[in-house]
Amino acid sequence: MEENEIILGTGMGPLRFGATMDEVRTLVGEPEEIEESDEDDDFEHQAWNYHEEDYLLSLYFDREDDFRLSCIETDNPNMRLYGEAIYGLSVDQVKALMERHGQTTPELETMEEGAIRLSYEKSMIDLYFEEGELQFVNFGVFINDDMEVQWPK
């Protein structure tokens, strides 16, 4: 499996949702930075940030999930989804890719600073565009209608 391949609901490359902090440390090493959630956050979590040569990888561990890997955010220019390179694609190109894979009815939101967020709630993925091009992606473990985490098998 390609290191930068996003598998919805499962993870990215060798990083799988549900991995413990120790398992993640073994796979990608010590993070350069660890951010703790604010006390007023709804979800207590840690974000492990890895500053690679030309991109950022952030891994999120939620307390209520026993600090298992539950979300990944990256602006890796080599990221792939459904086997296709997606960095720099337009909103329409990403929508078309998602539709080809049965992902329909996204939500589109223009953020304060002019960036656009394309969200597929059931697939737990948010794609962020600046100046019309995909810049980064945030995706997480699936959650069912009863709000229960669906760890990959």
pTM for the predicted model, two decimal places: 0.93
Q: Helical H runs in the chain?
A: 21-28, 91-100
Per-residue model confidence (pLDDT) at position 4: 93
What CA–CA distances, in Å, run from 75 to 20, 45, 87?
A: 23, 21, 8
| Amino acid found at 129 | F
pLDDT in tens, 38-84: 766 666 889 999 998 889 999 999 888 899 999 999 999 999 999 99
Q: CA 74, CA 86: separation in Å to the nearest integer? A: 12
* Token pair of 11 as six digits: 């993870």
pLDDT at 6 over 70: yes
Q: CA 129, CA 143: separation in Å to the nearest integer? A: 25
Checking phi first, is residue 102 left (phi over 0); if not, alpha (psi -120 to 50) or beta?
left
Which of 3-7, 12-16, 39-43, 113-117 bottoms out in mean pLDDT, i.e. has the lowest? 39-43
pLDDT in tens, 106-150: 999 999 888 999 999 999 999 999 999 999 999 999 999 998 999
Q: Within its chain, how far is the Cα of 25 from the centroid?
A: 18
| Amino acid found at 70 | S
| 3-state class (DSSP) for residue 85 | strand
